[in-house]
Amino acid sequence: AVLKLEKKITASGGKIFATSGKKADFDTALKECKEAGGSIATPRNPGENDAILYFVKSFNTYAYLGIKESLIPSKFQFLDGTQLGYTNWHLNEPSGKGKEECVEMYTDGTWNDKKCNQNRLIVCQF
C-alpha cells in the first residue's frame, strides 16, 4: 500500500499534502478534500508552494489552490476570509477582475486567477 502513495503525498511546514491524481472543478475539489478530512491545498509560504508544485509537476497539470477572490475584484484571500500573507502570482496576474474567482497553480509554481468550473488536479492538505 505504501508504494501506491508514491508521488501522491508530501509534507511541508507541519502540513501533509496529498493527491489522488484526480481532476475536478473547484467545488468538487473542496468537497473531496473535506470528505477526506482535510481542506484544499493552500500555500502560506514558499515551502508549502513547492510541496504543491511537486504534484503539479508529477502529474504535469494545473491544480486549484484554497484561495478565492474577495468581494473586491482582483483582491484575493484565503477561504476563511483572512488576508494572503504570501503570494506567487504569475507575471501580470491576477487579471480576471471579478470574472475569475479561483486560483490555479501553473507547472512553474506561479499562480493564475481562473474560472472555477475548469477541471484541475485536486490537492488536499491535512
Kindly report, residue by residue over 46-72, the tens digit of the pLDDT. 999 999 999 999 999 999 999 999 998
Rounded to two decimals, what is the model's pTM?
0.92
Average pLDDT over residues 117-123: 98
How many C-alpha atoms does 52 have within 13 Å on its Cβ side?
Answer: 32
Is the domain 11-125 a CATH 3.30.70.270 member? Answer: no
Interstrand relation of 15-24 and 63-69 (parallel, antiparallel or unpaired): unpaired
Give me the residue spans of the domains in the chain. Answer: 11-125
Q: What is the C-alpha separation between 78 and 66, in angstroms, rounded?
A: 6
- At 67-116, the pLDDT tens digits run 999 998 889 999 999 999 999 999 999 999 999 999 999 999 999 999 99
